């Protein structure tokens, strides 16, 4: 059974989609998971604790100040024991509370007290989901490391209402749970260490309104920075233009061009390890036009290019400030391993994280990544997993290599 022995804490908040949570509990238990449930007061208006208890096989927890439950398990144990906390349905109100770290009932207190991963399956009216406040909260929670499944588009429970806001179906939530059940690095795995991460694309100007860039979303680099911070490192993230919020607990430096990225990266040295996850534009236009280039009756403009500095190679070869561990990425569309090996040599780094970005793999911009770790001694294929999970595994491997205090379950 895929979830055998896994402990899931399900928080049911108050929304009509709460009826689907009963099915979710059943699906999780069928797969061998042990499900413990917290219901908010509002959730109990939609499904009864009796029904939830019958499906879960144990009494749901409902009160913060419940003497018998507190003696039995206690809210701190509720927060610490699960492998993953799932909030389904997650309401706009609960998301807002999480953003502000409020703890005025059992659900919000446990969500604040936990060090476990939290997966939210939002469900709300489309207008509430699209409201700027909810979108702000959504972005903030993602930057804090909370992961999401849904909401989905479609017909809402209120008749005639359509749009983005439906809770994901129980089986999609189960799939998201399976993907997110990976171990985070230990909180002190990288304490006392400084890690530099580059992320996102660079943007090389042609004129004041045009530029050369690429499809990098920054998801992998940002996940690495966040994960290194979770592991207790001092993290400097040098990020090209991305639509992701700055990760919590990380010093983020925003840059546009490759040259600026190089300067900011060099400025962040010394560091114990450097991870170059950015997709740096290889070329820049030699001379940026001072004014917007105008069309000239069918005459095509000619641009001349210069090669950008190679940030990874420059820092790998730094005479006195080379970090102990330098990690590059290789985005390849063919001959993945051979090209990655060649890059390892050419750039002078210690590891290459090689990923296939050929058409159809959806690595660029997507949530998952299938990588190979290429080192001087061999090639390690890793399974297809979320970018978060890749980041967690890589951070654990870095901690082992740097001899951090406690790497915590490194592969």
CB of 121 to ligand CTP, least distance (A): 34
Pairing state of beta strands 273-276 and 251-254?
A: unpaired
C-alpha count within 13 angstroms, C-beta hemisphere, residue 365? 7
CB of 139 to ligand CTP, least distance (A): 25
Question: Both tokens of residue 209?
Answer: 């309104």
CB of 136 to ligand CTP, least distance (A): 30
Query: What Rg, from alpha-carbon coordinates, does the chain have?
Result: 24
Q: Which residues pair with 210 in a beta bridge?
A: 207
CB of 259 to ligand CTP, least distance (A): 10
Residue 24 backbone phi and psi in degrees, to 5: -60, -45
Residue from 62, 199, 308, 363 touching ligand CTP (CB under 6 A): that is 308
Residue from 129, 182, 329, 351 touching ligand CTP (CB under 6 A): that is 329
Contact 290, 206 (CB under 8 A): no
Q: Catalytic residue among 131, 214, 263, 339, which?
A: 214
Any idea which residue has 């701190």 for tokens? 76
224 near ligand CTP, rule: CB under 6 A? no
231 near ligand CTP, rule: CB under 6 A? no
The residue count for binding ligand CTP (CB under 6 A) is 16
CB of 244 to ligand CTP, least distance (A): 17
Measured distance CA(238)–CA(261) in Å, rounded: 7
- x/- contact string, 193-212, with ligand CTP (CB under 6 A)? -----x--------------
- Give whichever of 46 and 364 is closer to ligand CTP, judged by the CB atom: 364
Measured distance CA(175)–CA(309) in Å, rounded: 42
Measured distance CA(347)–CA(274) in Å, rounded: 13
311 near ligand CTP, rule: CB under 6 A? yes
CB of 333 to ligand CTP, least distance (A): 9
Instruction: List CB contacts of 68: < 8 A, sequence separation 6 or more.
Output: none
331 near ligand CTP, rule: CB under 6 A? yes
> How open is the CA angle 352-372-173, to the nearest 5 degrees?
125
Measured distance CA(396)–CA(402) in Å, rounded: 10
Question: Both tokens of residue 112?
Answer: 């604040």
- Give whichever of 62 and 239 is closer to ligand CTP, judged by the CB atom: 239
Catalytic status, residue 214:
yes
Q: How many residues does the chain have?
A: 411
Q: Given the rule CB under 6 A, which of 121-129, 230-238, 303-311, 363-371 is the region that contacts ligand CTP? A: 303-311
374 near ligand CTP, rule: CB under 6 A? no
Active site residues: 214
Please report, as ranges, the residues that interact with ligand CTP according to CB under 6 A: 198, 258, 276, 278-280, 282, 308, 310-312, 328-331, 343
């Amino acid at each position: 059974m895929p979830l055998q022995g896994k402990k899931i804490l399900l928080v049911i908040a108050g929304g009509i989609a709460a009826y689907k949570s009963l099915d979710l509990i059943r699906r999780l238990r069928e797969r061998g998971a042990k499900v413990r449930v917290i219901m908010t007061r509002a959730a109990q208006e939609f499904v009864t604790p009796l029904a939830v208890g019958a499906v879960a096989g144990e009494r749901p927890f409902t009160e913060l100040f419940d003497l018998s439950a507190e003696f039995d398990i206690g809210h701190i144990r509720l927060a610490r024991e699960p492998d993953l906390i799932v909030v389904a349905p997650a309401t706009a109100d609960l998301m807002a509370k999480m953003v502000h770290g409020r703890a005025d009932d059992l659900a919000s207190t446990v969500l604040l007290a936990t060090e476990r991963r939290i997966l939210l399956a939002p469900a709300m009216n489309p207008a509430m989901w699209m409201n700027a406040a909810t979108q702000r909260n959504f972005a903030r929670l993602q930057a804090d490391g909370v992961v999401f499944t849904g909401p989905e588009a479609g017909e809402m429970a209120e008749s005639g209402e359509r749009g983005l806001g439906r809770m994901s179906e129980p089986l999609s939530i189960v799939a998201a749970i399976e993907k997110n059940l990976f171990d985070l690095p230990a909180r002190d795995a990288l304490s006392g260490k400084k890690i530099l991460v580059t992320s996102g694309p660079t943007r090389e100007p042609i004129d004041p309104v045009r530029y050369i860039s690429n499809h990098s979303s920054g998801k992998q680099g940002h996940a690495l920075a966040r994960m290194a911070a979770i592991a207790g490192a001092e993290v400097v993230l040098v990020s090209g233009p991305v639509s992701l919020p700055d990760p919590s607990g990380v010093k983020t430096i925003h840059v546009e061009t490759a040259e600026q990225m190089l300067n900011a990266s060099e400025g962040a040295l010394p560091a114990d390890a450097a991870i170059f996850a950015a997709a740096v534009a290889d070329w820049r236009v030699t001379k940026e036009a001072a004014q917007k280039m105008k069309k000239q009756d069918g005459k095509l403009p000619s641009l001349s290019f210069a090669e950008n500095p190679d940030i990874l190679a420059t820092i790998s070869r730094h005479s006195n400030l080379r970090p102990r561990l330098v990690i590059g990425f290789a985005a390849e569309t063919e001959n993945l391993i051979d090209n990655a090996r060649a890059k390892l040599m050419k750039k002078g780094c210690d590891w290459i994280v090689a990923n296939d970005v050929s058409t159809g793999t959806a690595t660029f911009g997507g949530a998952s990544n299938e990588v190979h770790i290429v080192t001087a001694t061999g090639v390690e294929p890793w399974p297809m997993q979320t970018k978060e999970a890749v980041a967690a595994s890589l951070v654990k491997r870095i901690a082992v290599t740097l001899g951090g205090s406690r790497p915590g379950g490194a592969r």
